[in-house]
Structure 1
Amino acid sequence: MKNLLFFAITALPAAAQTPLQVAADSASLRIRPAESGLMIDVEDPGNHSWMLQSSSTHGDWSQGATYRVFNGKLSIPVDADGPSRFFRLNSDLAGPVSSNAADALLQPASPYNYAAPVLPAHLLTPQINGQDNTPAGNPTTDAGAALGRVLFHDKRLSANQTVSCASCHQAEHGFSDPRQFSVGFDGRLTGRNSMGLTSAKYYLRQSFFWDERAATLEEQVLQPIQNELEMGMSLELLVSRLDEEPFYGELFTAAFGNDNITSNRIARALAQFVRSIVSGNSKYDQGVPIGFTNFTARENQGRTIFQGPRGGCSACHGSDNFVPGNLIFNNGLENPYIDKGVGEVTGQPADEGFFKVPSLRNIDLTAPYMHDGRFATLEEVVEFYNSGVVNHPNLSPQLRLPPGPPGSPPPPPRRLNLTNTEKAALVAFLRTLTETSVTTDPKFSDPFRYTAE
């Protein structure tokens, strides 16, 4: 039999300490005690259907319940109080299992609100609205972003069905990756740190990736799927794979009016979901209308440094979204640059060392920092700008001292020369930009049903 996982109840006293694990082909199971018997945790990247059979003699197997794995894993409860002492999971005997959205997904009774998030007045100004990169042809809708949420968490988007977008953009880490470099579908590492996605909607330049090689978010979301290191898929195979899942027909119909699955619609739905990840209720946001009286003295000191000439941080992280305007920067990480950033794309020396500046919202959650994850903490980042900016030929003017008379050589990098107290204050302010209610919001969480009923 191709996929047969066998176990006996008699093995379970020892499993109370070390759960029993069994493997067959690409699938494996872990058996552990549960409140009302046993729980079988099935790991199955192929998303097969499984029949749970039992026998008291290891001979006559019952025709038991059939279960479907929807996104690589499923926990199946087993009643161990009956006469049967032997059990097996068999995918060869399993018949068709319902694959509608209600069976595959945990859905709210009323649709989540993605299209019209409630934001404070300071995030509804013309300046903020002008940063919005949502194209006219792809406005965020509740149904479209709901589809995008499923796609974002679905491991079918990778060649061997082992990683999803959420594998490298983890909600609890500000939709970034705590590893310096992310692990692709076949175990190889990516070349850059995964950027946090909080408030990615607000980027006036519209381009995405550290080197801005994708002109729009709709272009960006399809590239990791096709990347040979990240997910290793073709769009043709992805469309075919999703077309085989009936629940996707329901979701595409809700989002786009019919069940036609295309790469363009996949891109639009994923982009809608990413744009819906917006922060507007951090400690900073709560402080804006009350003059930051909710801040500690240290946090207010840090805010003054950040926004004032002493730090000058707002020159590159401006507005209440802490994003650049229409500029991209070279921040003097090294000379020469190992990773040339935009210069790697254009081949132009004048573009070397330029990288996208993402929003600082939820920055306390997105370590490590910079395109290559070289800094492990915010303290290291602040110290870099305090004393470590390198004098690269392309260093942005915002990070240089004022220029001298005409004909003078380029001025050297700025040194903030902050005291230890001031550096700690700046870090304390940056932490006020954290909003864990975004990272724990169920509308951004994994929607798949992983426990059988």
Structure 2
Amino acid sequence: MSGLNIFRYFISASLLMVILVVSSCKKEGAAGIMTVLHPVELAIPENFSRPAGDLDNPLTSEGIALGKMLFYDTRLSGNNRLSCASCHRPELAFSDGVALSHIGESGKILPRHSPALINMAWMNKGLFWDGGSTNLESQAFGPLTSEDEMHQNLAELESELSQVPAYVKQFKMVFNSQVKSAAIVKALAQFERTLISGDSRYDRYVRKEPGGVLSAEELHGLTLVNQKCRSCHAGELFTDNDFHNNGLDQDFSDSSLEGIFQGRYRITYQLTDLGKFKTPTLRNVMLTAPYMHDGRFASIDQVLTHYQKNTQLAIPLSAAEKKAIIAFLGSLTDSLFIQNKNLSQPI
């Protein structure tokens, strides 16, 4: 790594959040002045695979900083009351802690649980619980424009942010553009791709680093997770990013809300996808209750009981095994991730 200029975008005790400047590029900014941007490459945890890069929206330190500002800005909502962080709180691993939110502009209860934003750079099989969006850029338009969420008119948003000199300057610098909705979602996506969680006690155990000690019960829980859960919660991401029917419901005849309860079938119209929903990661799972696409389970114990008693799944678990699994899941909590001031609201 000698010869590389190391740019510490996220100052953290963990080297996992260091971003390396690998090159620089220039864009012609206002008055013909050449603006230097700093392309970055995420420092990937050693036990992780590399995510695919986005050639249409390459990461730069300036773009990430702009995306962070936008993520916490309530002007992104029609009534200037909600930001992305209203439903994705850093201290809860960017989840919201409620089953079904009703803080959107309409006040209606949403039909689905707000997912946690963890390791989004690896989300390559579709976003939302049914995979209805193919990438982070297109995904952002959903909550931004939904009348039950942020309910923002995109033209009005462009106009409002264009009244802020700092935004005008940054959009010109980062995208050589006026404040446009396409650039807004690109900046948001850049910030979200930096939400890397890979420094839990489990990770330190795997990498044989200081602090990586698991108790006998936690190790037993790890063995049980490997035996009983890895078909869906696969690899070091603890998700296959795919879609599965885990036996929550049997009746999908209610096609109200545009088939919102039919899962992946709503997108593919393949009968084999009926009732399939995206596998959430187990990372930081003790922080992201309640669980499932509709938040129906308040605790991990309830989740495990479902898998234990559901005849479709029939995963046998004793009380001691459930206790061991829960103990291990606690070792997946990444305190540095949730406490990182550089991911939290700008002061």
The two structures have a TM-score, normalised by structure 2, of 0.82
**Aligned mates of 1:223, 1:176 — CA distance in 2:** 17
Instruction: Tell me the SS of whatever aligns to 1:261.
Output: coil
2:184 alignment counterpart: 266
2:280 matched to 1:358? yes
Kindly state the Cα deviation for residue 386 of structure 1 after the two structures are TM-superposed: 1.5
Query: After superposition, what is the alpha-carbon deviation per residue over 1:19-65, rounded to whole angstroms, capped at 9, x for unaligned?
Result: xxxxxxxxxxxxxxxxxxxxxxxxxxxxxxxxxxxxxxxxxxxxxxx
2:295 matched to 1:373? yes
2:333 alignment counterpart: 434
Structure-to-structure mapping, 1:193-212, within 5 angstroms: 193-205=113-125, 207-212=126-131
Structure-to-structure mapping, 1:408-447, within 5 angstroms: 413-447=312-346
Instruction: Tell me the SS of whatever aligns to 1:264.
Output: helix
Identity %: 37
2:234 alignment counterpart: 318
**Aligned mates of 1:122, 1:335 — CA distance in 2:** 38
**Aligned mates of 2:300, 2:81 — CA distance in 1:** 32
Instruction: Tell me the SS of whatever aligns to 1:382.
Output: helix
Kindly state the Cα deviation for residue 319 of structure 1 after the two structures are TM-superposed: 0.9
CA contact (8 A) 1:342 1:351 kept: yes
Deviates more, 1:338-347 or 1:235-244: 338-347
CA contact (8 A) 2:93 2:338 kept: yes
CA contact (8 A) 1:340 1:354 kept: yes
**Aligned mates of 2:127, 2:305 — CA distance in 1:** 27
Q: Please tell me whether Structure 1 or Structure 2 has the larger radius of gyration of its CA atoms.
A: 1
CA contact (8 A) 2:219 2:328 kept: yes
1:39 alignment counterpart: none
> Which of 191, 201, 218 is residue 283 of structure 1 equivalent to?
201
Structure 2, unaligned stretches of length 5 or more?
Answer: 1-7, 11-17, 20-39, 255-260
Task: Identify if the C-alpha distance between structure 1 residues 111 and 278 changes in structure 2 by more than 3 Å, giving closer, same or farther.
Answer: closer
**Aligned mates of 1:384, 1:279 — CA distance in 2:** 27
**Aligned mates of 1:425, 1:289 — CA distance in 2:** 22
Kindly state the Cα deviation for residue 293 of structure 1 after the two structures are TM-superposed: 6.7
2:42 matched to 1:122? no
Task: Letter of the 1:344 partner, please give it.
Answer: R
2:110 matched to 1:190? yes
Task: Identify if the C-alpha distance between structure 1 residues 250 and 440 changes in structure 2 by more than 3 Å, giving closer, same or farther.
Answer: farther
The two structures have a TM-score, normalised by structure 1, of 0.64
**Aligned mates of 1:371, 1:320 — CA distance in 2:** 22
**Aligned mates of 1:134, 1:384 — CA distance in 2:** 37
Higher helix share: 2
Compare relative contact order (CA 8 Å, sep 6+) and give the higher one, 1 or 2: 2
**Aligned mates of 1:421, 1:430 — CA distance in 2:** 14
Task: Identify if the C-alpha distance between structure 1 residues 140 and 445 changes in structure 2 by more than 3 Å, giving closer, same or farther.
Answer: same
**Aligned mates of 1:293, 1:218 — CA distance in 2:** 36
Task: Letter of the 2:205 partner, please give it.
Answer: G
Structure 1, unaligned stretches of length 5 or more?
Answer: 1-109, 391-412
Calculate the aligned-residue CA RMSD, in Å: 2.1
- Count of residues paired in the alignment: 305
Instruction: Tell me the SS of whatever aligns to 1:221.
Output: helix
2:4 alignment counterpart: none
CA contact (8 A) 1:200 1:358 kept: no
Instruction: Tell me the SS of whatever aligns to 1:260.
Output: coil
> Which of 222, 246, 249 is residue 165 of structure 2 equivalent to?
246
Instruction: Tell me the SS of whatever aligns to 1:442.
Output: coil
Task: Identify if the C-alpha distance between structure 1 residues 144 and 293 changes in structure 2 by more than 3 Å, giving closer, same or farther.
Answer: closer
CA contact (8 A) 2:204 2:212 kept: no
Structure-to-structure mapping, 1:307-346, within 5 angstroms: 307-308=226-227, 311=228, 313-324=229-240, 327-337=242-252, 339-346=261-268
